[in-house]
Amino acid sequence: MPKEEVIPKLIPVFRHCGYEGATVSQLSKATGLKKASLYHYFQGGKEEMAKAVLEYISHWIEEHIFAPLQTEKPALDRLNAMCAGIDEFYKSGQDPCFLAVMSLGEADNLFHQQLEQSLKKWLDTLSAIAEETGIPPQQAKENAEDAMITIQGALVLVRVTKDTQVFHRAIAKIPEILLSN
């Protein structure tokens, strides 16, 4: 199996167990590969696997969340496209936030800078869209933060209640949150 096919199979383990909770046995089982084969692909062990997963997710987010925001379409259309990407990425809120689980414990020491840059880029991009619609910079920044808080809060609620409608309602409100004065 090519390495490019192995990496997506690692994602659920890290996403649901976190970095510290993910064991090489779990990662091996998720991929269907023996531990030795995993180490053949990832000589740096679990840390290298997590880095590969972060890079894979970064590319996915770039393509499905950031790219729609950078088109010439009207702001509302771009935000709706981003929301569709968010819904897909989090499987309607059923998957926990990868940024959150990878910012705990040892993972925070290893990946903090990369996670911080990713979150900052997302906030800055959302702020820029709000600003281009005439919202003052400080309000645009706060709107972007409120949108992120809404997404994260919905993820927590879905994880506890198992009610994905919470996530759908939250995501549907993101354009309104971002574009309100």
Distance from C-alpha of 121 to C-alpha of 75, rounded to nearest angstrom: 17
Domain 3-179, what architecture? Orthogonal Bundle (1.10)
Model confidence at 67, pLDDT cuts 50, 70, 90, reads: very high
pLDDT of residue 97: 87
- Does the pLDDT at position 181 exceed 90? no
Distance from C-alpha of 18 to C-alpha of 49, rounded to nearest angstrom: 12
Model confidence at 1, pLDDT cuts 50, 70, 90, reads: confident
What's the 3-state SS for the chain? CCHHHHHHHHHHHHHHHHHHHCCHHHHHHHHCCCHHHHHHHCCCHHHHHHHHHHHHHHHHHHHHHHHHHCCCCCHHHHHHHHHHHHHHHCCCCCCCCHHHHCCCHHHHHHHHHHHHHHHHHHHHHHHHHHHHCCCCHHHHHHHHHHHHHHHHHHHHHHHHHCCHHHHHHHHHHHHHHHHCC
Provide mean pLDDT across the span 25-30: 96
Provide mean pLDDT across the span 85-95: 94
- Does the pLDDT at position 166 exceed 90? yes
For residue range 68-82, what is the model confidence (pLDDT) as tens digits?
999 999 999 999 999
Provide mean pLDDT across the span 161-180: 96
Give the domain ranges of the chain. Answer: 3-179
pLDDT of residue 123: 96
Provide mean pLDDT across the span 83-111: 91
CB 178 within 8 A of CB 130: yes
Share of the chain above pLDDT 90, in %: 91
pTM of the entire structure? 0.88
- Does the pLDDT at position 147 exceed 90? yes
CB 55 within 8 A of CB 44: no
- Does the pLDDT at position 135 exceed 90? yes
Indicate the average pLDDT of the chain: 94
pLDDT of residue 79: 96
